[in-house]
Amino acid sequence: MERLSFDLASSSLSDMNRFLHTELSADDTRHVTVLNPDGAHNIAVGLNQPVTVDVQGHAGYYAGGMNKHARVVIHGSAGTGVAENMMSGTVHVKGFASNGAGATAHGGLLVIDGDAGLRCGISLKGGDIVVGGSVGSFSGFMAQAGRMVICGNAGDALGDSLYEAVIYLRGEAKSLGADAQFEDMTDADYSALAELLSKAGLDHDPKSFKRIASARSLYHWNADANQEY
């Protein structure tokens, strides 16, 4: 397995992303290290190859965005929109993540060891998100498909206007959003959760989690609701 490293203190981010997009497939490099990321935006976005990218430091906005097949590990914190619109593969943030982590992800797994900011998993479309810490307000807003595991607490309006995504929460939510409700855990939930926790390297007992899903009362327009939900 060939290893390669890019030092963003001395080489350009565009060159690195260009290499990852266009030259990687003809190459046998399967491990790329990014040094001195220093909060740069768009690190390792749009990958489409089974490659591991280790980012040694703090990443800026949209790191690992649109990821397909690759494994991106950020050994630091991630800015707004980490793994945004991921299709497959894995993005692992060892520190905390800012707002909009995993927004609109269609597939793949986003693991955040620390806390995530507001709007984590907003409009999730099939991806999985495991947060080792807590998430901010409006997380899981309008999430359509996929699963979110929150090992800590959640802010206000968790799962507001949920569609068919499911949220597993270990701590407490400051409040649930409109149409989100606690539901009983089934055997299928326990096994799905155990698998997600194992993939994220966490050993919490699945029995310590609660399931939050949509009550589906917003699925159809109700003219009598007087906009009060």
Residue numbers of the site for other proteins (CB under 8 A)? 36, 38-41, 57-58, 60-61, 76-77, 79-80, 95-96, 98-99, 117-118, 136-138
- Which residue spans within 45-124 are E strands per DSSP? 52-56, 71-74, 90-93, 109-112
Under 8 Å between Cβ of 180 and 200: no
Task: Please say which residue, 89 or 159, places its beta carbon nearer to other proteins.
Answer: 159
Backbone torsion region of residue 23, taken as left when φ is above 0, otherwise alpha when ψ lies between -120 and 50, otherwise beta: alpha
Task: Please say which residue, 67 or 98, places its beta carbon nearer to other proteins.
Answer: 98
Please give the DSSP secondary-structure letter assigned to residue 184: P
Task: Please say which residue, 56 or 88, places its beta carbon nearer to other proteins.
Answer: 56
Pairing of the two strands 210-214 and 166-169: antiparallel
Q: How far is the CB of 159 from other proteins (least distance, A)?
A: 17
Q: How far is the CB of 61 from other proteins (least distance, A)?
A: 8
Residues 6+ apart with CB under 8 A from 151: 130, 131, 132, 133, 170, 171, 202, 204
Task: Please say which residue, 8 or 196, places its beta carbon nearer to other proteins.
Answer: 8
Q: How far is the CB of 204 from other proteins (least distance, A)?
A: 23
Task: Please say which residue, 27 or 172, places its beta carbon nearer to other proteins.
Answer: 172
Q: How far is the CB of 153 from other proteins (least distance, A)?
A: 12
Read off the amino acid at residue 78: A
Task: Please say which residue, 41 or 69, places its beta carbon nearer to other proteins.
Answer: 41
Q: How far is the CB of 13 from other proteins (least distance, A)?
A: 11
Read off the amino acid at residue 131: V
Read off the amino acid at residue 177: G
Within 41-124, residue ranges assigned H as helices are: none
Q: How far is the CB of 183 from other proteins (least distance, A)?
A: 28
What's the rounded Cα separation, in Å, for the pair 229 and 218? 9
Under 8 Å between Cβ of 13 and 34: no
Pairing of the two strands 180-183 and 210-214: antiparallel
Q: How far is the CB of 75 from other proteins (least distance, A)?
A: 11
Task: Please say which residue, 98 or 104, places its beta carbon nearer to other proteins.
Answer: 98
